[in-house]
Amino acid sequence: MALDNVAVQWPRTGRFYEPVPADEFADFAHVAAGAPAHAGPAAALAAHIAKTSTVRAGAYTDLVDLLLGLDGVLFATDAAAEDEDPVIDPDGCAWIAGGLERFVAGHEALGQAGDEITFDSVAVVLGAALNQGRLAEQQLRWLDQRLDSLRDDEGNPPQWNFTLLELRVLTVFYRRCADRGFAVYADF
- Closest alpha carbon to 101 in 30, 34, 172: 172
pLDDT digits (tens, 9 = 90+) for 129-166: 999 888 999 999 999 999 999 999 999 999 999 999 99
Q: Where are the alpha helices (DSSP H) in the chain?
A: 28-34, 40-52, 61-68, 77-81, 90-110, 119-131, 136-150, 164-179
Pair 160, 122: CB distance under 8 Å: yes
Q: How far apart are CA 148 and CA 150, in angstroms?
A: 5
The residue range of the domain holding 161 is 4-187
Q: How far apart are CA 171 and CA 165, in angstroms?
A: 10
Pair 154, 98: CB distance under 8 Å: no
How many residues in total does the chain contain? 188
Sort 62 into a burial class: Cβ within 10 Å, 0-12 / 13-18 / 19+.
Answer: middle
- pLDDT for position 37: 87
User: Where is 93: in which H helix or E strand?
Assistant: helix 90-110
23 residue type, one letter: D
pLDDT confidence band for 111 (50 / 70 / 90): confident
User: Where is 57: in which H helix or E strand?
Assistant: none
pLDDT confidence band for 114 (50 / 70 / 90): confident
Across-strand partners of 19? 8
pTM, entire model: 0.94
- DSSP 8-state assignment for residue 31: H
Across-strand partners of 83? none
CB atoms within 10 A of CB 92: 19
Instruction: Return the percentage of the chain with pLDDT > 90, whole number.
Output: 86
Q: How many domains does the chain have?
A: 1
